[in-house]
């Protein structure tokens, strides 16, 4: 029986980037800023810089509170050995595929087959689009257990992973649902740990997020992928959950009570699908995290892990830049969707909860976009001591900006070192001193993301990451 939702609201999607009210607000803001720059240019420039510094201060303070909460977080105590047969739930596992080779599919079948869970309680669905004949043929040629099946989704709508997940979800009827990526290797006990955590948690806990960890890579940016994930899925999620805040889900290893997904989804009878994930949002996981909170459900981090691959090249199709463009684009899409009716959203989840989520999904891409402006001004002033730059930073603004730059950057660097400590990843510590290059790369990616999102032809483009290039089996052995 589904829980009664906190308050009803009509879900909106990212199919439309901005609604009419948002367009009017942005247009009015742009006209006002341009008018002020013409009328009082110096005061306007100082005001804009002050607003940016205030945003930096808020984000740094927000992360500091979350990190403190993470240090105090206590996970639910569970013991999978105490689970009785009646405690075990039926499970639907959904794995979306797109242009995959037989090697990565075979590895996925092996990884899912290794899960310690009764096969009779599992329904493993590999979903693929009907125009992807090579992947369909590759899957059908490989042996798989009888509880594995292939679902072929009609290629209708945007070519995104959430659209495929929605079609596959419409074919399920089990008690718990979890999506995995094709390259994922979940810990063998992950399903048991999820069931045990749901058992000791309240009915308002509708979803769990397992930790995502990257397998070892050979390049410098692989270290940052690994450490960033350690920080996000350990410090950030634990800290936000400890404060009772909504947190953005990862795109995989989310364990949901199926009744909760059916409650927050939209029955699309015409296409015979159940729209749980927003098919037009390329970070559908981030959107779903706040949707669930708006319906009154909370989530918990799951103390289990899933091993993933980081890209083996920076630029080009399947590379790190394309993947992070997709993540940032989806974050921005999520923020825009949930800011269409902010007062209603605040009534549902609370002011602090709403602002906290917006700082993560909107603040992250915005800060990455404005960072190069301040870096450029700083470098230009160091070499020229320009009086123009001096005039833009009166004493109060100069000292506050300097404090944010020093302590904010040191704080972010410290977060990376803490993540290395948490995971005992001592080999990555020296690479962390290359973090300015990593920040610069992410700012470049954010600019490319912005170009993508304002172009209708690329707004919903799913920048697929290449798979099957790392030896995850070595990571499992460790």
Question: What pLDDT shows up at residue 27?
Answer: 95
**What confidence score (pLDDT) does residue 374 get?**
94
Instruction: Please state, in angstroms and as integers, the Cα–Cα distance from residue 430 to each residue in 92, 413, 435, following that order.
Output: 42, 12, 10
- Helix-, strand-, coil-residue percentages of the chain, each rounded to 5: 55, 15, 30
Query: For position 43, which CATH number holds?
Result: 3.90.550.10
Average model confidence (pLDDT) across the chain: 91
- The closest of 293, 153, 320 to 224, measured between CA atoms, is 320
- Res. 21: pLDDT tops 70: yes
| Most confidently predicted of 303-317, 355-369, 408-422 | 355-369
d(CA 445, CA 215): 23
CA-to-CA distance for 64 and 326, rounded, in angstroms?
Answer: 27
Closest-CA residue to 157 (of 294, 13, 280, 25): 280
In this prediction, residues 338-358 reach a mean pLDDT of: 95
The confidence band for 463, taking pLDDT boundaries of 50, 70 and 90, is confident
Number of domains in the chain: 1
What pLDDT was estimated at residue 472?
A: 55
Antiparallel, parallel or unpaired: β 185-186 and 298-308:
antiparallel
Q: Give the up-direction half-sphere exposure of residue 393: CA atoms within 13 A in the CB hemisphere.
A: 16
- Band of the pLDDT at 8, cuts 50, 70, 90? low
Are the C-beta atoms of 58 and 359 separated by less than 8 Å?
yes
Q: What is the pLDDT of residue 478?
A: 41
Do you know the residue count of the chain?
Answer: 478
Sign of the C-alpha dihedral computed for residues 154, 157, 161 and 162 taken in this order: negative
| SS3 assignment, position 344 | helix
For residue 306, give its domain range: 1-478
The CA-to-CA distance between both ends of the chain, in Å, stands at 42
User: Per-residue confidence at 316, pLDDT binned at 50, 70, 90?
Assistant: confident
Task: Report pLDDT digits (tens) over 367-383.
Answer: 999 999 999 999 999 99
* Segment 58-85 mean pLDDT: 93
With b for 16 or more beta-carbon neighbours within 10 A and e for fewer, the 179-190 pattern comes to: bbbbbbbbbeeb
State pTM to two decimals: 0.92
Distance of alpha carbon 40 from its chain centroid, rounded? 41
Inform me whether the pLDDT recorded for 127 exceeds 50: yes
As a whole number, mean pLDDT of residues 313-326 equals 90
The confidence score (pLDDT) of residue 1 equals 42
The pLDDT value given to residue 424:
85
d(CA 379, CA 385): 10
pLDDT of res. 159: 86
Residue 133 neighbours by CB under 8 Å, 6+ apart: none
What's the pLDDT at 286?
A: 93
Burial class of 31 by CB neighbour count within 10 A (0 to 12, 13 to 18, 19+): exposed
Spatial contact of 143 and 102, defined as CB atoms under 8 Å apart? no
Strand 122-129 and strand 148-153: the pairing is parallel
| Confidence check: pLDDT of 474 > 60 | no
pLDDT in the model for residue 464: 85
Percent of the chain, pLDDT > 70? 94
Q: Which residue pairs from 335-342 have beta carbons closer than 8 angstroms and sit at least 24 positions apart in sequence?
A: 335/361, 335/362, 336/14, 336/17, 336/18, 336/22, 337/12, 337/13, 337/14, 337/278, 337/281, 337/287, 338/287, 338/290, 339/22, 340/12, 340/19, 340/21, 340/22, 341/9
Q: What is the mean pLDDT of residues 205-230?
A: 89
Average pLDDT over residues 66-83: 92
CB of 260 within 8 A of CB of 169? no
Angle between helices 41-72 and 351-361 (to 10 degrees): 110
Q: Contact at 8 Å (CB) between 463 and 203?
A: no
Report the C-alpha gap between 441 and 325 in whole angstroms. 11
Name the band, by pLDDT with cuts 50, 70 and 90, for residue 144.
very high
Is pLDDT of 477 > 60? no
What pLDDT does residue 355 have?
Answer: 97
At 269, the pLDDT band (50, 70, 90 cuts) reads: low
**Weakest-pLDDT range from 51-60, 64-73, 123-132, 264-273:** 264-273
| pLDDT level of residue 177 (50, 70, 90 thresholds) | very high
């Amino acid at each position: 029986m589904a829980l009664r939702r906190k308050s009803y609201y009509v879900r909106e999607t990212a199919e439309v980037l901005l609604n009419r009210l948002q367009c009017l607000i942005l247009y009015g803001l742009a006209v006002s800023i341009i008018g002020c720059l013409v009328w009082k240019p110096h005061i306007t420039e100082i005001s804009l810089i002050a607003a940016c510094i205030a945003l930096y201060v808020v984000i740094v303070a927000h992360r500091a509170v979350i990190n403190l909460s993470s240090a105090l977080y206590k996970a639910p105590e569970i013991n999978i050995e105490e689970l009785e047969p009646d405690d075990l739930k039926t499970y639907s596992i959904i794995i979306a595929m797109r242009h995959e080779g037989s090697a990565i599919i075979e590895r996925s079948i092996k990884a899912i087959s290794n899960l310690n869970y009764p096969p009779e309680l599992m329904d493993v669905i590999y979903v693929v689009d009907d125009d992807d004949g090579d992947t369909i043929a590759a899957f059908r040629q490989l042996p798989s257990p009888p509880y594995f099946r292939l679902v072929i989704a009609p290629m209708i709508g945007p070519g995104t992973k959430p659209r495929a997940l929605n079609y596959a979800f419409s074919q399920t009827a089990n008690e718990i649902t979890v999506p995995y990526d094709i390259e994922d290797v979940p810990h063998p006990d992950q399903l048991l740990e999820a069931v045990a955590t749901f058992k000791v948690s309240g009915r308002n806990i509708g979803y769990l997020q397992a930790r995502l960890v990257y397998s070892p890579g050979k390049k410098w940016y692989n270290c940052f992928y690994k450490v960033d994930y350690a920080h996000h899925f350990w410090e950030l999620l634990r800290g936000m959950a400890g404060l009772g805040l909504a947190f953005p889900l990862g795109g995989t290893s989310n364990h949901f009570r199926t009744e909760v997904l059916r409650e927050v989804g939209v029955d699309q009878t015409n296409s015979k699908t159940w729209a749980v994930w927003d098919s037009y949002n390329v970070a559908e996981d981030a959107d779903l995290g706040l949707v669930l909170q708006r319906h009154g459900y909370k989530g918990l981090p799951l103390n289990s892990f899933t091993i993933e691959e980081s890209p083996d090249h920076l630029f080009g199709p399947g590379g790190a830049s394309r993947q992070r463009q997709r993540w940032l684009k989806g974050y921005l899409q999520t923020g825009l969707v949930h800011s269409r009716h902010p007062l209603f959203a605040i009534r549902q989840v609370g002011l602090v909860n709403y602002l906290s989520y917006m700082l993560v999904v909107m603040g992250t891409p915005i800060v990455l976009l404005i960072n190069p402006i301040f870096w450029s001004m700083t470098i230009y002033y160091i070499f020229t001591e320009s009086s123009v730059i001096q005039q833009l930073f009166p004493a109060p603004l100069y000292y506050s900006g300097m404090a944010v730059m020093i302590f904010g950057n040191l704080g972010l660097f410290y977060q990376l070192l803490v993540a290395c400590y948490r995971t005992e990843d001592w080999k990555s510590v020296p690479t962390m001193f290359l973090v300015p290059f990593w920040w610069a790369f992410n700012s470049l990616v954010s600019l490319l993301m912005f170009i993508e999102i304002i172009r209708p032809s690329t707004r919903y483009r799913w920048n697929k990451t290449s798979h099957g290039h790392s030896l995850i089996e070595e990571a499992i052995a460790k």
